[in-house]
Amino acid sequence: MLDAIAELKPQLNLALGDLGYESGIEEQFCDMVTGKLGTDLPYQLVTGNHESDGHEGDIENYIRCLPNKLPGLQGEYGTQWYADVPEKDPVVRFVLVSPGIDFRNGPLDYSKGSERWRWTTDAIDSAKSQGIPWTVVGMHVPCFSVGRYGCQAGEEFTNMLIEKKVDLVLSGHDHVYQRTHQLSTGASCPGLKPAAFSRGCLADSDGTMRQGQGTVFATVGTGGIGLYDINSKDPEMGYFAMTSGKNRNPTFGTLDVKATAEELTARFVPAKGYSLKDSFAIQRG
């Protein structure tokens, strides 16, 4: 997977948690990353549940050997932060948060109206008020999934991201690749419910979408650890445009996201020896 990223020569990489699955190997992991991608690439971190509380690694150790390299970053790197890319005349704001996972003192509070809820909404709203074309949110756990897990990110928090018209939400945690259609709330969909499906929540179901009509969710849990099965009977399956897991075209790889002032595009890039293909575009105007 790192070889696939290296061939893309990206400006940055978002690593959405669960990095080493074993305590004491943080430096080994960092050396593997920098050996493949070099020491200058911003390989940007947000914690997963395996290193958030230190039981299988420690996010603080990963931060020390893979520090922030994006200028102007705001917040607490590794846990809750945002950055505009590029720093001057940005085309995208990346907002990284950590709902739904345990830290040493328990889970962080992302409930409605909490300090971390307000921080997240302010980061989203200020990007829009500053005229930054695209807003991308990243977090370790998804809400909608046809893999192994339920809505660990929280129903209210996830619906807030849709209501705020975030363009793209990225996650890991579930060891599958899954990408939704564009989802929206409104008169025909007061709010999305986990473990259920409502056709009224589908804003657009083809590969070319318009900004402001809804939000696309993509889980890219395909970094190298064993994959999970796709549950084709999951009620949420109707929200998904593409799924891949242990029992359905199993593939490791990465999501290549590109943003210009007028268009945000993404395509799944499989590691060598795998074949899954998926792509979509969101256009402004």
Cis status of the peptide bond prior to 86, with omega within 30 of 0: yes
Instruction: Supply the pLDDT for residue 242.
Output: 98
Is the whole model's pTM more than 0.75, yes or no?
yes
CB atoms within 10 A of CB 200: 14
Q: What is the pLDDT of residue 285?
A: 80
Are the C-beta atoms of 202 and 274 separated by less than 8 Å?
Answer: no
Which pLDDT value is given to residue 206?
92
Domains of the chain with CATH codes: 2-283 (3.60.21.10)
Would you state the pLDDT for residue 207? 87
Which tokens go with 38? 């070099």
Q: Which residues of the chain have pLDDT under 70?
A: none
C-alpha distance from residue 110 to each of 14, 95, 152 (Å): 21, 14, 11
